[in-house]
Amino acid sequence: MNIPLYVISFERLESLRRLVNWAKWVGQEVVILDMGSTYPPLLEWYEGCGVKVHKCGRGAAGIVVNGLQKEEGRGRFYALTDPDVIPMGYCPDDLVQHLLKGALREGVGRAGVALDITNIPNHYQHRSRAIMTEIGYWENRIDGEWFASNVDTTFAVWDSWAPQGIPIRSNYPYVAEHTTWHLDLANLPPDEKHYVERVNRSNGWHLGYRTPPSATWSAESRRRMEFLGVTEACECCK
């Protein structure tokens, strides 16, 4: 079953370019949903990017996707992501089909790709906060392939018939990089500067506006945090 990958786009160019290049490489159909971008290089890139671009304004992406699915007779399943989630080099090319297999499991509403937290550079000012939040998503193992874990607009396949189904995330090697965690906030590239100027603070993970995590980690998660040089008392989370 071939399903489209919808990419929510707003002001960011470089990560979107990388994601589209990956999709072309593996033969994955991409549909870009632009949420009212104004960044001139991005708008110019759209003209020759070679994939469908829908100008949606600042509406809810889920509503737009459901409308497109019905309009084009696409069926119940689709993949959805932000542009800053890029499959790792070792991630198999059949990522979307693997996530679809997860979404087809009984009781599952969406299946997302896991995010790598082992390679976040020290220069990323919210490294400890990102690791402390994400490490909990690796705790609730279902089997050798999946973890029970929350999924939002992380790269995921959704079942539009089961919006209340449980969310799951993949295990290795189906892992992606969250490019935002690799930014140097003191030296942002031009598209990220433009994005920061326009984005709503509630959506800006790399801006550090999320409330510090309060979860109780398992002993295994604490060992992983220690290995990655993170403690609960890290300065960024006080």
Q: What range does the domain containing 35 cover?
A: 5-237
Question: For residue range 138-152, what is the model confidence (pLDDT) as tens digits?
Answer: 888 999 999 998 887
* pLDDT on residue 126: 87
Could you report the per-residue pLDDT of 176-222, keeping only the tens digit for each?
999 999 999 889 999 999 998 887 544 544 444 344 444 555 666 66
Instruction: State mean pLDDT over 73-79.
Output: 78
Nearest C-alpha neighbor of 98 from the set 85, 87, 112, 77: 112
- Under DSSP, is residue 197 helix (H, G, I), strand (E, B) or coil? helix
| Helix boundaries (H) for the chain | 14-26, 40-47, 61-71, 95-103, 127-134, 190-198, 219-227
Here the CATH number for the domain that contains residue 28 is 3.90.550
Number of folded domains that form the chain: 1
Q: What are 12-22's pLDDT values in tens digits?
A: 999 999 999 99
Q: What is the DSSP letter of 171?
A: P
pLDDT for residue 64 is more than 90: no
